[in-house]
Amino acid sequence: GPCAMTQVGMIDGQFIVNPSQKDWKDGDLKLTVASTKEKVIMIEAGANEIPEDKMIEAIYMAHDINQTVIAFIEQIVAEVGKEKHTYESCAIPEELFAAIKEIVPQEEMENAVFTDEKQAREENIKAITEKLEEAFAENEEWLAVLGEAIYQYEKKTVRKMILKDGKRPDGRAMNQIRPLAAEVDLIPRVHGSAMFTRGQTQICNVCTLAPLSEIQKVDGLDENTTAKRYMHHYNFPSYSVGETKPSRGPGRREIGHGALAERALLPVLPSEEEFPYAIRTVSETFESNGSTSMASTCSSCMSLMAAGVPIKKMVAGISCGLVTGETDDDYVLLTDIQGLEDFFGDMDFKVTGTTDGITAIQMDIKIHGLTRPIVEGAIARTREARLFIMDTCMKPAIAEPRKELSPYAPKIVQIMIDPTKIGDVVGQRGKTINAIIEETGVKIDITDEGAVSVCGTDKEAMDKAIKYIEIITTDFEKDQIFEGKVVSIKEFGAFVEFAPGKEGMVHISKISNERIKNVEDVLTLGDKVKCICLGKDKMGRISFSIKDCPK
């Protein structure tokens, strides 16, 4: 039958159906739900720590609204609908299945798949395939579909083991998570790094910090999104699944997994005012056997904390699977599904969140839809699992963000200046600001509001640049003392540069306590001197003195 889709946002605790772009962007919830007349078939969400019960309420509010659209579609079908196309079934012959079961009994197939080693299982299936190819060597028709037949036999065996026998392929309980391990700082030179391992799924994440001027510019279809301060990249090399093939650009899968793990952490990131950095994390898949996107969420969270990013709370993610029987009440939920359970199961329900609520959801299903008890059960199961992961694995590795950044990370100091002085700091065609950058080696960014960010790795150089900016933006007043360099000598005195583009004149009579005929007798170009501001002279010019400066 027909299906429909509804988006739900939330502002100040109130749900908004099909919100405007502004409400969607600024709200606490970005939920998309697709459903048929009876069941939910797709859920995608980003949320600002929405509690589980509130999320379920939003999902089924969207499901109810979908019914209005479905009723409208059914009305159209009743008025102008056409007969459905027919198709010819290309199912595997039952005779082939019967012949396979005679050569490879059900018990032998169960023994082949019942192992927690992915490679061992693949070797067992390979041996069975070779055995059957030899047996059916003279039947070309069966050989052509043998691969698909073995796949379906393996699938039926795994589903029967889980649903009827209560056994998972690796022997775990239905709510049991695979062995966990976590560590940080395994790559010493980067700004932050972490490794997260769950069974045969292993992700290494590296965090890099940069000034806000390095923020990623975005030129996409959404005109409301022009830049991204935080980016999460997900790489899935072929060796992670024991294959060899060329590594080209990211595909649909890599982009989708990266976006999900990125969305999971957005609600806990500090604001630009709290932490004036652009942040980039990269997840490298070392080994894959199910739910690498959720492992990437855990790994990138720890990597951010190791880098000293003051995230508000720890975030973890886990995937819940499903195997269904003949009726809606005949089903089994599986915590932490591995690859085999993902391939042969009916659902991959990924949920990330903190101790207080959900930050992201992505759900894929292969059946006609999910009943409410299944959705509620999956959300409850994922909460239980992510709290277990945080308490037993992530917190022992790193419990909170580090107070100090890595010594290799750029340091950023922010000061505010009068916006009318921005032109003085920049100088004509950027001459002043470029002179400061060239002398100190720092990076300087200025906003229209007058927020100046000085970025560098050398504290002395950063302090020097800030001092220059403060001098440039300060109006000279009487009795102020400055240090500067002699940059020009005239008959009547010398010009001293206190900061790039900021100079003062010392009259010849104010250079020395002794009477001098020529300025060159006392000063030479490049001399560093200390001066005191004398205020304005009779002609309204600011003058300085070297001889009156306190020793």
CATH at residue 125:
1.10.10
Return all residues near 31 (Cβ < 8 A) that are at least 6 apart: 7, 8, 9, 43, 44, 45, 47, 55, 58, 59, 62, 361
The CATH number covering residue 507 comes to 2.40.50.140
Same-domain check for residues 243 and 311: yes
For the chain, how many structural domains are there in total? 5
pTM (2 d.p.): 0.83
Residues 151 and 263 in one domain: no
As a residue count, the chain comes to 551
Task: Write down which residue in 55, 80, 105 finishes a domain.
Answer: 80
Residue finishing a domain among 80, 115, 147: 80
Side chain identity at 233, as an amino acid letter? H
Q: Is residue 405 part of a domain?
A: no
- 106 and 196 fall within a common domain: no
Q: What is the CATH number of the domain that holds 319?
A: 3.30.230.70
Residues 6+ apart with CB under 8 A from 186: 193, 194, 195, 204
Inside any domain, residue 173: no
Residue range of the domain that includes 39: 4-80
Q: Are strands 502-507 and 542-545 parallel, antiparallel or unpaired?
A: parallel
Does residue 402 lie in a domain region?
no
For residue 30, the tally of other CB atoms under 10 A from its CB is: 19
pLDDT tens per residue across all 551 residues of the chain: 799 999 999 999 999 999 998 899 889 999 999 999 999 999 999 999 999 999 999 999 999 999 999 999 999 999 998 888 888 877 888 899 899 999 999 899 998 988 878 888 889 999 999 999 999 998 888 998 999 999 999 999 999 999 999 999 888 999 999 999 999 999 989 999 999 999 999 999 999 999 888 899 988 887 778 899 999 999 999 999 888 888 888 889 899 999 999 999 999 999 988 998 999 999 999 999 988 999 999 999 999 999 999 999 999 999 999 999 988 889 999 999 998 899 899 999 999 999 999 999 999 899 989 999 999 999 999 999 999 999 999 999 999 999 999 888 998 888 899 999 899 899 888 899 999 999 899 999 888 888 898 998 888 999 999 989 988 888 888 888 888 889 889 888 898 888 888 888 888 888 888 888 888 888 889 888 899 898 887 777 788 888 888 87
Residue 86 lies in a domain: no
Residues 524, 389 within the same domain: no
Shared-domain flag, residues 463 and 487: no
Domain contains 87: no
Which residues, at least 6 apart from 254, have a Cβ–Cβ distance to it below 8 Å?
A: 234, 235, 236
352 domain residue, yes or no = yes
| Same domain membership, residue 369 and residue 326 | yes
- Asked whether residue 149 is assigned to any structural domain, the reply reads yes
Same domain, 454 and 524: no
260 and 370 in a common domain: yes
Q: What is the pLDDT of residue 513?
A: 84
Assess contact for 482 and 470: CB atoms under 8 A: no
233 and 98 co-located in one domain:
no
Which residue among 472, 489, 509 closes a domain?
Answer: 472
Distances (CA, A) of 120 to 114, 115, 357, 388: 10, 7, 38, 29
Residues 352, 485, single domain; the answer is no
**Residues 40 and 120 occupy one common structural domain:** no
Query: Using CA atoms, how far apart are residues 296 and 254, in angstroms rounded to an integer?
Result: 12
Contact 41, 35 (CB under 8 A): yes
- The answer as to whether 139 is a domain residue is yes
Regarding whether 320 and 207 lie in a shared domain, the answer is: yes
